[in-house]
Amino acid sequence: MKFKFKPITPNLGVEITDIDLSKPVDAQTQKQLYDLWLKYAVMVVRNQKLEPPQFASVAQLFGDILQQQLAKFTLQDHPLVGTISSRDLPMVDGKLKVRGENFHTDHSNYLAPPKATMLHAVSLPSHGGDTQFVDVRSAFDDLSPSMKEKILPLRSAHVYESSKSPRKMANISAEERAKVPQTLQPLVIGHSETGSAALYLNTGRMEGIEGMESTEAFKLIDDLYVHATQTKYEYRHQWKHGDMVIWDNRSVMHQANPDFDPSEYRFLYRIMLQGVPLNAFQKQNHEETAA
């Protein structure tokens, strides 16, 4: 099976065309797609028309499907397939309040956060509703040597909703909240497949830094966030009908935008893929792997 690909930026984002993922994919094509995804972290596959079972089958080309956290945002007949619908969103000051504003990485409070998130556009507004991505690999690489040394050993507690969260998480019952995991995550992770270093940030869930005074900790988190979300690290995806996008949560942060007409319908399928527990980046191990 042949397809065409084109990098969107030199390091972040790759566009795939001339492939129909509703049909079976051979092993060679699967490997080519997977390798391109690992390299560019965000893969945009154009002109797809996937029913929920087909979307789930495509997801399994990249990994094992993670069970949806909130059942109310899933398809009744296909509970492994989540939904993002403008009709589920509240209005605040005349604007839709979307899930996923502010750059973040999904479910970072899990011991083994999802390695990937994927969306498939089913219905789109006439304009707006973009998804933005920033390359936290490049953001780490550009830090000063002294800052790298400072943050490499640090860990942050990731909870359901940080006391300093810039966005409101979905309302859940006390019983549901009691079941939500929380864990310590490194500030700099080593990618479990490539070994590359990346900042690991989610200001909506990070509750300070282990062993550091609160004010200093949150300032460091904010400084790293501001650095990582500079435009030079960004790819902004403008959705087209039929787009399927999969991104690597170990390499990028993303954010949603509410900048579309709330009277227009925006609906996407969503699936996350099972990850593994995160490890702090080990420079020596990465150098040995590269060699």
Question: In this structure, what token pair is assigned to residue 148?
Answer: 């790298």
Question: In this structure, what token pair is assigned to residue 194?
Answer: 């490539």
DSSP state for residue 135 in the 8-state scheme? E
Please give the Cα distance from 38 to 120 (Å, whole number). Answer: 19
Please give the Cα distance from 109 to 21 (Å, whole number). Answer: 32
**Would you report the helix, strand and coil content of the chain in percent, each value rounded to 5?**
25, 25, 50
DSSP state for residue 233 in the 8-state scheme? G
At 215-268, the pLDDT tens digits run 999 999 999 999 999 999 999 999 999 999 999 999 999 999 888 888 899 999
Please give the Cα distance from 252 to 271 (Å, whole number). Answer: 17
List, in sequence order, every residue forming a beta bridge with 1; answer none if it has no partner. none
pTM for the structure as a whole: 0.91
- Work out the number of other CB atoms within 10 angstroms of the CB of residue 286: 16
Mean pLDDT rounded to a whole number for the chain: 91
Please give the Cα distance from 131 to 103 (Å, whole number). Answer: 10
Task: Pick the closest to residue 106 from 242, 248, 287, 265 (CA basis).
Answer: 248
Question: In this structure, what token pair is assigned to residue 206?
Answer: 């990070």
- Please give the single-letter amino acid code of residue 83: T
The per-residue pLDDT string of the chain (291 residues; one tens digit each, 9 = 90 and over) reads: 799 999 999 999 999 999 999 999 999 999 999 999 999 999 999 999 999 999 999 999 999 999 866 566 666 787 789 888 887 665 566 665 565 678 999 999 999 999 999 999 999 999 999 999 999 999 999 999 999 999 999 999 999 889 888 877 767 777 877 778 889 999 999 999 999 999 999 999 999 999 999 999 999 999 999 999 999 999 999 999 999 999 999 999 999 988 888 889 999 999 999 999 999 999 765 555 554
Q: Where are the domains of the chain?
A: 4-290
List, in order, residues 6 or more apart from 216 with CB less than 8 Å away: none
At 77-87, the pLDDT tens digits run 877 898 888 87
Phi and psi at 284, nearest 5°, equal -65, -45
- CATH superfamily, domain 4-290, is Clavaminate synthase-like (3.60.130.10)
Please give the Cα distance from 12 to 232 (Å, whole number). Answer: 11
H helices within 60-99, ranges in order?
A: none
Question: In this structure, what token pair is assigned to residue 110?
Answer: 């899990």
